[in-house]
Structure 1
């Protein structure tokens, strides 16, 4: 039987631009077994439980081989139950078991992190319950390690299994468009072209009032009666209504024609096509909304980012304080003027912040607003300043900006208030530039470790830097920050664009 779908297939979860013959719907009859991608959530739950169960005999075997010490079953059963319960609560709180193929590919799988956190919670509960005397730390570490290993090792086979199920039609969704308006179809094709979900298949387009009798490369089904006939035969699972400027009366008329058959009906609003792909679909209560911008770091992620900044900035200050003291002394002895250069730059929420740097130019030739970009062999730079700039030592005082809260360790670099690209100000030259100010600026960033450190000589490089800034904002994680910091150390010594 064909499982009826309760999945709201969003605009972004759709088939590729062309309906090539090899991507047509598998030849399943109405009696064939087929699931929607909502089956991914339950399958993910079964995978997680299997990993937890397989870790038990593996842990006991390793513990007996390494230690051969007796265990108190009740204490360790309590720890196992606490870890498993914490893990499931974490997963449920993230809606991990409500995922489909699209959200799984977009959000990823946090099972390993959740298992580690569940292990910490279980250990804390054992201590709070007064069972620590009969609790083996060795078996606890082994079990957490085994569970994490099984979860990590299962990722690729699990995704491979889902891909094969989709390819074979076990997971599948047959979709028909209602609305043969050529403009709508072409716009939707452009939006859908970036999708790569093999379980979705277009079967054609229908319309009772077609403006175009034949839509190129899509089969014209006919009107709503023919579409309903296909649905009864099990050839259509979902109808996407894609008529622009659709009056409410006609929408109700279309739904009335189709409500007698078992088929999902979804409406694609005009804005979903016009704004794509720069939005996410969210719910406010039961009201669907297209979220165009969203705060990148908030609630727990905001606290995590700030904690990361404070810890790393303090550790960095301790490590580089001798270098900073020597640099300050050399600046003071070799040129007149203050040791620090305080420059107004554009920061979080497009507000001006005062960024600290070691002064690398002659005091009478500094540029507060950034009208003149620093170039190679710039005569304004002092001999000591050349070394400081080449090794990015002049940026180290910004660790104080991080502790103050004006900046972050990693983020888009803050630009001077009048920074230009060619004859235009940066914000005029690059579309979407202002979006980088949704987060705190950083001492280093993704653009800097991708070869865009230092002077921006062309508009293409300026656009690429903003693209990488946006990519960092959208894909942020603690691990990405740590990776960028490691690459920053490498870039300091190998990047020839810093001067």
Structure 2
């Protein structure tokens, strides 16, 4: 039985080729970025320097760089990943851009045109292109979301599931993906024994095969997800054969997606498709880039902040007797213990090395200087030394004390999937901290949310994601009221 609101004839205003439309939009966006960047670079060069410029040579160089960039992106099928969320300026785009610049520079040198080429113009063009690619991706993401939510682009999807529990699981997975172009119009099942036809999470019950085929023929259904984790082979073949009569996309969700965990990546061993349940993050070049970025930023920060570090050390010595630094055992990479350094912010005889006792607002254990340096996270700055040692990163999941608790349970026992946050080095700051989860974690909901943010960061890391978190951290230090 099709719900009444679906019985009414409606104009098919959705585009069935959602991924193709977005893919083309991403390519067009980058083409416009290079064109506009060249125009801006030429105007600025002529206005500021006014020197003669071989336009033909520099146009050729810009075209070569753009072609290199697009060939690299298309060869990796990078534009197909665009689904309205965008990657802003993720690791893939950044690396592709740098490789394209290198190849273009090599081409210019090999053809002996380096003397006629203006290095100043080249740097201006590269800078403009980088900024345009970054900003345009943010704007493109917003545009795509608005078009999808307005119904100009979209994919109408129905779920054919074994029961309400499985259907609910599919809806949860779709919610995690946050794909605005997916519009779930209902769920279906052709079993005669079905008696519960009530809506599930505001998603209506559509009926059986006949109802699905009717929607497809009338142009009101674009895609069907078959979610039957324990189906027999003969029944599955029958289902696919019947549904193939409709002009719709039919896909089958593997049982692993439904019963194990939320995040998977389809990978290939040769030509054999496999599902990666867990994957080593920041591998190969990404790992080298992350290490280099951490060490350089830590060294620069120590040099620039040395007056503040010296002033803090003097203030701690004047305020209360005891050592300058506080060392605490915390979980690090691969769940190994590390000694995390902090400026001492508590009285020596009241310190809790185990971390079992949480710091609360107005905690009498905290010294006068300690309250100030904890409020602005100055006490965390010695962890720059941990970064130089290779024990920590600038950005990453915050390291937790080995006996840290949530309620009456240890953190690692209380939160499902907690160990996954130790697949990378812990950080001085992290995504959870700039999303309002800095300071005391006194409820299970806050604890789970922090781990969710940590895992999201690990699976979506990029150099500029780190820079964005660092910038947000600096802003949060002024306005945040959860640190004490």
- What range is the shorter-chain TM-score in? 0.7 to 0.9
Correspondence 1:248-259 to 2 at 5 A: 248-257=233-242
Deviation at 1:148, TM superposition (A): 5.6
Q: Which runs of 5+ in 1 are unaligned?
A: 1-17
Distance 2:150 2:278 in 1: 34
Distance 1:297 1:26, change over 3 A: farther
Equivalent residue number for residue 78 of structure 2: 96
2:89–2:137 Cα contact (<8 Å) kept: no
Structure 1 residue matching 2:85: 3-state secondary structure: helix
2:229–2:258 Cα contact (<8 Å) kept: no
Equivalent residue number for residue 270 of structure 1: 255
Deviation at 1:406, TM superposition (A): 0.7
1:479 aligns with 2:464: yes
Equivalent residue number for residue 219 of structure 1: 206
1:315 aligns with 2:300: yes
Distance 2:432 2:222 in 1: 44
2:266–2:274 Cα contact (<8 Å) kept: yes
Equivalent residue number for residue 433 of structure 1: 418
Q: Which of the pair has more CA radius of gyration? A: 1
Structure 2 residue matching 1:341: 3-state secondary structure: strand
Distance 2:157 2:442 in 1: 48
Within the candidate set 377, 392, 410, 2:395 is matched to 410
Structure 2 residue matching 1:134: 3-state secondary structure: coil
1:280 aligns with 2:264: yes
Equivalent residue number for residue 136 of structure 1: 118
Deviation at 1:134, TM superposition (A): 1.0
Equivalent residue number for residue 337 of structure 2: 352
Deviation at 1:407, TM superposition (A): 0.8
Deviation at 1:250, TM superposition (A): 1.8
Deviation at 1:178, TM superposition (A): 4.5
Distance 2:208 2:23 in 1: 33
Deviation at 1:38, TM superposition (A): 2.7
1:400 aligns with 2:382: no
TM-score (norm 1): 0.76
1:240–1:266 Cα contact (<8 Å) kept: yes
1:83 aligns with 2:65: yes
CA-to-aligned-CA distance 1:190-237 (integer Å, 9 cap, x gap): 544675544756487463x443278443332545xx866876776665
1:105 aligns with 2:85: yes
1:37–1:172 Cα contact (<8 Å) kept: no
CA-to-aligned-CA distance 1:21-44 (integer Å, 9 cap, x gap): 489995359xx9964533433453
Provide the alpha-carbon RMSD of the alignment.
4.3
Deviation at 1:165, TM superposition (A): 8.7
Structure 1 residue matching 2:379: 3-state secondary structure: helix
Deviation at 1:290, TM superposition (A): 4.4
1:240 aligns with 2:237: no
Deviation at 1:279, TM superposition (A): 1.1
Q: Identify the range of structure 1 (267-276 vs 19-28) with the bigger mean alpha-carbon deviation.
A: 19-28
Distance 2:477 2:290 in 1: 24
Q: Identify the range of structure 1 (301-310 vs 455-464) with the bigger mean alpha-carbon deviation.
A: 455-464
